[in-house]
Structures are given as C-alpha cells and as structure tokens.
Chains A and B, each alone.
Chain A
C-alpha cells in the first residue's frame, strides 16, 4: 500500500463519523429542532459502546450500546424542549456538558483498554483494482452503512409522505398544527434518530478509529457535524461531500505536521475548526439568511389549545 492510498483510507475513516452524526442532526433540524448537544451525545456513544464492547467482548453489542446511549441522551433533550418547551440552544449546550462529564465517569474503568481492529469487508476482485480498489471495496461495514444511510435519508425526506410531513413541520409548525399534523410526535422521533446517529458516530470513533477510550475523545467532532448541516444547506448529498472535505482537512493537517512545514503544529490542528468557521462565514455572507434553513428551526412549539 502506498502512502497516498494510506492517506485516502484514513480520510474515509475520519469522515465517516462526521457524516453519520451530521445526517442525524440534519433529520432533527429538518423537523425544526436545533440540537446543539451532538458533541455530548457522540461522546456518550463512544464511552458506552467502548464499555459494552470490552465488557461483553462484542463489537455488535458495543455499537448497540452506543446508539442506545445517544438515543437516551436525545430523549432527555426531547423531554426538555418538547415536554417543557425549554430553550433549545440552552438545552443543547447543557446536553453537551452533561455528556462530556457523564462519559468520563462511565469510561473511567476502561481507560487503557484496547480493542482489536474491526475486520474490513473485502469485496473480492473489485478490491484488487489499483488505488481505488481498496479505497472503495475494502472498507469496514460502517463506511458502507454511512453511504447507504445518506441515500436512505435523502429518499426518506424527499420521496416519502412521512418525510414530507417532517419537512412541513420543520418549515412552519404553526401551519402544520393547524392542518392537524402531529408536530410533537414527529419531532420526538426525529430527535431520537439524531441521538442514535450521534451515538453510532461515537461508537465508530471508539471501536474503529482509535480503538481505545479517552475522556473527551470526540474533540469537537460533534460541533463540526453541526456546522456541516449548515454548510450542506440541510441537504443529505451535500452533507456527504462536506463530511469528506472536513475529514480530508483533519487528516491532511496531520500529514502537514509530520512534514514539518515550519508552521506551529497547533495552527495546523486548528485547520478543520477554522474551515468550519470559514464555511459558516461564507454562507452567511452569500445569503442574508442561511439558505435552506427550516423556517421553524430552533423555535419552541406551544399550541394555543
């Protein structure tokens, strides 16, 4: 394997958790709910999946535990913002802080433990194609799952009745309510889906990417996922592209550090985050309001019955 191929492979690995988490958040936001707690749900997913995987020596159980942890965190968020119509920004930030703290507690006994790599799925013949062969056809199951998920989310939102209902509720919850669409129920499931995806992204980090647990190991990836949704103008296809751009930025800055350009390593580490800020800035300059943003995004829904 050449260095070039290795770099491409790591880019895929770095991009996948961003993609999965951003897709979940995209569905949540399309229903009109802004959940800033992605980082918290992701890190809980990482801690719980690693704990379960080590305890039961099963990657499958680890993944299930990670998704469950993310969904439970999301359910707590749903209770606050749907049940009590609490401020979504505040609740989301609180969720992140809670997740970072709680995951440290859950993960503490597992610091220092390691997991074996997850075996890639090797598609015979195709994976022998030079350069792109291994890149496209010898990845772990998560990578394929994330691509399939992108397509499914896209089809769901744009091609199904249920997706149309979800988009309508996100666009204008007052009208949706007046028409009798179940605003709360749809938002609840959308929030839960977002949580499960963040949890899955966390599980991928802990079980495939690093294969160990350390507190705060998500290192801001939840925030990048949030920015990706805006960058992608709430469209799944663009989330895929965006995730790979940001994943590439993360990996390439590591190689740039190794190549010793004479730039302080801290500056290079900041590149993905600077890129996030830049993407948001460019978008807001180009369009007065963020293009494609669901109309009711971030506003609590209180019907007057």
Chain B
C-alpha cells in the first residue's frame, strides 16, 4: 500500500493554463492539473468535455494553443509522441492505436525505438506478460484478438518503455466487467511500484474504485479537483453535467403482448474478412417492451443489426417475422412498410448522409412510406417532417436546415432517432443509441425509446453500455461470438451474470473457473 504522506518535491507532471482552440470552439480552456508520483489520478467528464483533447496535448499528438507543461518542475515542450515517450509518458488509446494485419510483436516493435529488434521484443513481452499476468501470444495477428487482449498489447507496449506516467483513455469502454477488474489489479500494482497513472473516464464507479484524486472537466474547463470517494456519485455527476441528471421514467405499467418481432434459428456467414458469423439466433420482441442486447463490441452486433434491418438478407423468409409476416428475405424498405424502423450505430455516413441537409436526410427512411409520390420527392413535406423532428426532439441546429455533418454528435443522434420514432413504428431496432453523446441527449433518447414502447411498440436496443440496458430494458440477452443467450427479464440479470455470458463461459457449467 502507498503511504499517505504529502509528497515532497514537485509533482511529476504539471499542466498550467492549457488551452486548445478549434475555430470558434475552445476544446480546452485554461486547464490546470497536477499529477503526483505514484498517484492514480482520474480525469472525469462528459463526452465532449475536452478530456481526449487534453491528454492528446500531454502526449504530443496535438499542439496546445496556450499553456505550459512542467515535468518534475521543469518546463517541457512535447512536440510529438516520440518525444513524449522519451520523457517517460506512455498512452493507451481509447480507440486502440493498433494495426489489425500485423502480429502482436510487430505492433509492439513499431512503437519502440530502432534498437529494439523483434527478438528482444518477443523476449521482453514474455517477461512482462508473466510479471503482470498479461498473457499475450507474440505471433497472433491483432484482428484475431478480443478487445481485452488488444488493450493488453497497448499496455505492454507502454510498460516496455518503463514509463513514469501511464495515460489510459476510457480503458474499460470495450471490456467485460471481469476484464475491467483484471485491469484495475494491474493498475494498482503499477501505482504501488511508483508509476503515476492518469485515468480518463466518465464512469464514476470505477473512478471511485481506483482513484484518490479526480479532476472534473466540463465544457473544456476544470470545475473541481477532489477526492472521488468523499462525494456521492450523484454530486460528482452533477458536477460533470452541470445540472442534476434526471432519472428515466420506466415505471409505467406494461403488459407486453403480441410478437412484433420473432427471429427463429437465424444463422448467417460472416460478411467480410474479419466479420462474425451469426449462429442460430432466437429472439422475440413483444409490443410494449424494450428488449436489450448486451455484448462486447465485435461479437456480432452489427451483423445482427444488418440481418434484422434487411441490409443483409437471410436465406429463409421465416427466420425473421415482423408483425407475423415472414420477412427474412425482404429489403429494408419492404420491412419499413411492415411498420419497422432501424437506427444503425454509425450516425454520420450510415444513419445520415453527412453533406445532405436534414430535410434530405429524412428521405432516407421516410421515402418508403411518405414524402415521395410516384418516384418524385415531396420536398415541402420532407422539410415539414425535418422541422417537426427538430422541434419534438430538441435538436439544436446552427441554422434552419443545415447539413447533417454540421450537427454535434448528440444532436445528430437525437435527429436520427427522432426521424424513426416520429414515424410511429410498430418495431424499432436501435444499435448503440447513445454512443458518444452527452448525458442530456442520452437521457432524452432513452426516455423517448421507453415512451415509444409504453405506447405499444416493440423496441430492441443493441448496446455495449450495460448501465444503459439496465436502465431501459425489460428483458435482455447477451450476444457472444454470434450466439445469443436466452432472453431473460432484466430483474433476473446481475452484472456478473452478464459478464460471464460476455465471456461465453456461462453456458451449462455456470463455472467461474475460466476467469
């Protein structure tokens, strides 16, 4: 354990008045932050609060517009990641900086200086793996690995350079609860050995588990530096968001009835080179309920979404039934005409065309049922629809009918979800409804989905955010390597049980031995 004596000497890293301006946007506004040796320091904030910008500045990926960085009291300029590494800073990126087609050893070697040969990397990799319990096979190609294993590569890559500060950007967003716990153990151990850690997250629970000091960012500014264990989660959340976050009303009574969606023994080969096959999926969504699909990224969620929406067709019409009608071989618009609606994960480029106006973007899904007549677009009708989406879903737009790419992530997400909800679908399938949006928008979206269900639609939410699913879902299943677990009422699930399903060790034996 660390001694709780006040540190003597200057902090390891000190940021003073760091600002970064992108055009009109101040992503970082005069940020002060100091990290003591051996400390695990949390950097908390909403999506878009400026956390990633700040750490990229610290790691030399982007240049600050103003401000000073001090290392052990000496001012330094960090012009590139190479310089950052030379100064003893290591970083584990949120979206990993890995190369899919290269092997584990090559991925590590490429980030090290030239005097590391592949064979030394292999040797050291084995050593570090044993010391920290980070098992890795040096010759596997990265694309064959799970997210947890990929993260290990990033961590090992940093550790090989004996860093004094390790920066982790949202490290648990792609991990199962068990993998996350494993990571925390490693971090505790590193900190005990004297390595400082800057831990970036928006998840309060893990910050309270790991850190004694937290700096909270909101809209590019530091709003507080505090001990996260001394305040309640609610207080910290209020600091992050700027106002108290309301809870979602899900208490309306519901008696789901009628099978709006039935998926029977749906199997599909992988679409691409590194895709995931779907194996014998069975799923029922009834009118009036929200069905959640949990899972770690890349376990077949996008394939399942493509199969349900009709982006990829099934072999047999009977494998998917919408409102009782076999529709497995129907195209997207045909399914829309049966009363279904779909919101894919990627909002820009998949759900919306970036350079088209919002009114043109309504056509993407509405053209199946309205706003067009005998092949011609009814532009006025489209504009009306766009306007009413903007009004009902609180979409903040810079001008009347802007291009989709001009909207912030949260606002665009509200728009693409609103676009489907406003059609009053009998069935809606949403992939990652609140990925990367701020808390306010996330709350509005979740509430809208729950309300839609309570009005008698079937809602299917595919999400990697377990908290979100526990909040909105009535029944839930876990997808693992293209297989779906049985659908159970949300009250029967615990996070541990979900974690086991995510690892694929829950079937039958119910054993914990695999962890």
Q: Is A289 an interface residue (CB 8 A)?
A: yes
**With contact pairs A178-B81, A180-B85 given, residues A288 and B100 touching in the complex (Cβ less than 8 Å):** no
Interface residues of B in 191-238 (CB under 8 A from A): none
Residue from A164, A174, A292, A294 in contact with B110 in the complex, judged by beta carbons closer than 8 Å: A164
Q: Which residues of A contact B98 (CB under 8 A)?
A: 172, 175
Find out whether the CB atom of A168 lies under 8 angstroms from the CB atom of B99: yes
Q: Is A282 an interface residue (CB 8 A)?
A: no
Find out whether the CB atom of B109 lies under 8 angstroms from the CB atom of A172: no
Residue from A167, A291, A304 in contact with B62 in the complex, judged by beta carbons closer than 8 Å: A304
Find out whether the CB atom of A180 lies under 8 angstroms from the CB atom of B80: yes
**With contact pairs A161-B114, A164-B110, A168-B102 given, residues A179 and B275 touching in the complex (Cβ less than 8 Å):** no
Interface 0/1 of A146-184, CB less than 8 Å to B: 000000000000000100110110011011111111000
Residue from A164, A179, A295 in contact with B81 in the complex, judged by beta carbons closer than 8 Å: A179
Interface 0/1 of A281-305, CB less than 8 Å to B: 0000001110110110000000011
Q: Is B96 an interface residue (CB 8 A)?
A: yes
Interface 0/1 of B389-428, CB less than 8 Å to A: 0000000000000000000000000000000000000000
A161–B99 CA distance with the chains assembled, in angstroms: 15
A180–B82 CA distance with the chains assembled, in angstroms: 5
Find out whether the CB atom of B99 lies under 8 angstroms from the CB atom of A288: no
Q: Which residues of B contact A168 (CB under 8 A)?
A: 99, 102, 106, 110
Least Cβ–Cβ distance between A187 and chain B, in angstroms: 16
A168–B142 CA distance with the chains assembled, in angstroms: 12
Q: Is B273 an interface residue (CB 8 A)?
A: yes
Interface size on A, residues (CB 8 A): 24
Residue from A175, A181, A291 in contact with B96 in the complex, judged by beta carbons closer than 8 Å: A175
A179–B82 CA distance with the chains assembled, in angstroms: 7
Q: Is B265 an interface residue (CB 8 A)?
A: no
Find out whether the CB atom of A177 lies under 8 angstroms from the CB atom of B61: yes
Nearest A residue (CB) for B84: A180
Nearest A residue (CB) for B86: A180
Q: Which residues of A contact B114 (CB under 8 A)?
A: 161
Find out whether the CB atom of B60 lies under 8 angstroms from the CB atom of A180: yes
Interface residues of B in 52-110 (CB under 8 A from A): 60-63, 80-85, 93, 96-102, 106, 109-110
Q: Is B271 an interface residue (CB 8 A)?
A: yes
Find out whether the CB atom of B100 lies under 8 angstroms from the CB atom of A171: yes
Q: Which residues of B contact A174 (CB under 8 A)?
A: 97
Nearest B residue (CB) for A296: B99
A305–B61 CA distance with the chains assembled, in angstroms: 7
Nearest B residue (CB) for A304: B62
**With contact pairs A161-B114, A167-B102, A177-B61 given, residues A289 and B109 touching in the complex (Cβ less than 8 Å):** no
Residue from A175, A177, A287, A291 in contact with B99 in the complex, judged by beta carbons closer than 8 Å: A175
Interface residues of A in 176-196 (CB under 8 A from B): 176-181
Find out whether the CB atom of A175 lies under 8 angstroms from the CB atom of B273: no
Instruction: Count chain A CB atoms within 10 A of each CB in B60, B83, B101, B273 and give the residue with the most.
Output: B101
Find out whether the CB atom of A305 lies under 8 angstroms from the CB atom of B272: no
**With contact pairs A165-B110, A180-B60, A305-B62 given, residues A172 and B81 touching in the complex (Cβ less than 8 Å):** no
Find out whether the CB atom of B93 lies under 8 angstroms from the CB atom of A178: yes
Q: Is B111 an interface residue (CB 8 A)?
A: yes
Q: Which residues of A contact B60 (CB under 8 A)?
A: 180
Least Cβ–Cβ distance between A303 and chain B, in angstroms: 8
Find out whether the CB atom of B63 lies under 8 angstroms from the CB atom of A305: yes
A15–B19 CA distance with the chains assembled, in angstroms: 58
Find out whether the CB atom of B110 lies under 8 angstroms from the CB atom of A181: yes
- Give chain B's interface residue range (CB within 8 Å of chain A): 20 to 34
A179–B109 CA distance with the chains assembled, in angstroms: 11
Q: Which residues of B contact A289 (CB under 8 A)?
A: 272-273
Q: Which residues of A contact B96 (CB under 8 A)?
A: 175
The DSSP consensus for interface residues of chain B is loop
Interface 0/1 of B259-282, CB less than 8 Å to A: 000000000000111010000000
Q: Which residues of A contact B271 (CB under 8 A)?
A: 288
Least Cβ–Cβ distance between A30 and chain B, in angstroms: 11
Nearest A residue (CB) for B270: A288
Q: Which residues of B contact A294 (CB under 8 A)?
A: 101
Residue from A171, A288, A292 in contact with B272 in the complex, judged by beta carbons closer than 8 Å: A288
A292–B101 CA distance with the chains assembled, in angstroms: 8
A180–B80 CA distance with the chains assembled, in angstroms: 6
Q: Which residues of A contact B62 (CB under 8 A)?
A: 304-305
Q: Which residues of A contact B85 (CB under 8 A)?
A: 180
Least Cβ–Cβ distance between B159 and chain A, in angstroms: 15
A295–B111 CA distance with the chains assembled, in angstroms: 18
Interface residues of A in 254-305 (CB under 8 A from B): 287-289, 291-292, 294-295, 304-305
A289–B275 CA distance with the chains assembled, in angstroms: 11
Q: Which residues of A contact B106 (CB under 8 A)?
A: 164, 168
Instruction: Count chain A CB atoms within 10 A of each CB in B63, B100, B111, B272 and give the residue with the most.
Output: B111
A221–B102 CA distance with the chains assembled, in angstroms: 32
Least Cβ–Cβ distance between A112 and chain B, in angstroms: 50
Nearest B residue (CB) for A178: B97
Least Cβ–Cβ distance between B468 and chain A, in angstroms: 27
Q: Which residues of B contact A305 (CB under 8 A)?
A: 61-63
A172–B102 CA distance with the chains assembled, in angstroms: 11
Q: Which residues of B contact A164 (CB under 8 A)?
A: 102, 106, 109-110
A174–B97 CA distance with the chains assembled, in angstroms: 8
Nearest A residue (CB) for B63: A305
A167–B271 CA distance with the chains assembled, in angstroms: 25
Find out whether the CB atom of A178 lies under 8 angstroms from the CB atom of B61: yes
Q: Which residues of B contact A287 (CB under 8 A)?
A: 273
Interface residues of B in 341-380 (CB under 8 A from A): none
A291–B272 CA distance with the chains assembled, in angstroms: 10
Nearest B residue (CB) for A174: B97
Find out whether the CB atom of B272 lies under 8 angstroms from the CB atom of A175: no
Interface 0/1 of A12-27, CB less than 8 Å to B: 0000000000000000
A217–B275 CA distance with the chains assembled, in angstroms: 44
A171–B82 CA distance with the chains assembled, in angstroms: 19
A175–B80 CA distance with the chains assembled, in angstroms: 13
A49–B100 CA distance with the chains assembled, in angstroms: 41
Q: Which residues of B contact A161 (CB under 8 A)?
A: 109, 114
Find out whether the CB atom of B97 lies under 8 angstroms from the CB atom of A179: yes
Least Cβ–Cβ distance between B104 and chain A, in angstroms: 13
A101–B84 CA distance with the chains assembled, in angstroms: 49
A94–B413 CA distance with the chains assembled, in angstroms: 39
A49–B62 CA distance with the chains assembled, in angstroms: 45
Least Cβ–Cβ distance between B171 and chain A, in angstroms: 15
Least Cβ–Cβ distance between A165 and chain B, in angstroms: 6
A178–B111 CA distance with the chains assembled, in angstroms: 10
Q: Chain B interface (Cβ within 8 Å of chain A)? A: 60-63, 80-85, 93, 96-102, 106, 109-111, 114, 271-273, 275
Complex A-B, nearest 4 residue pairs according to Cβ-Cβ distance, in ascending order? A180-B81, A175-B97, A180-B82, A171-B99
- A to B CB contacts below 8 Å, 30 in the list: A164-B106, A164-B109, A165-B110, A167-B99, A167-B102, A168-B106, A168-B110, A171-B101, A171-B102, A172-B98, A175-B93, A175-B97, A175-B98, A175-B99, A176-B97, A176-B99, A176-B110, A177-B61, A179-B97, A180-B60, A180-B83, A180-B111, A288-B271, A288-B275, A289-B273, A292-B101, A294-B101, A295-B99, A295-B100, A304-B62
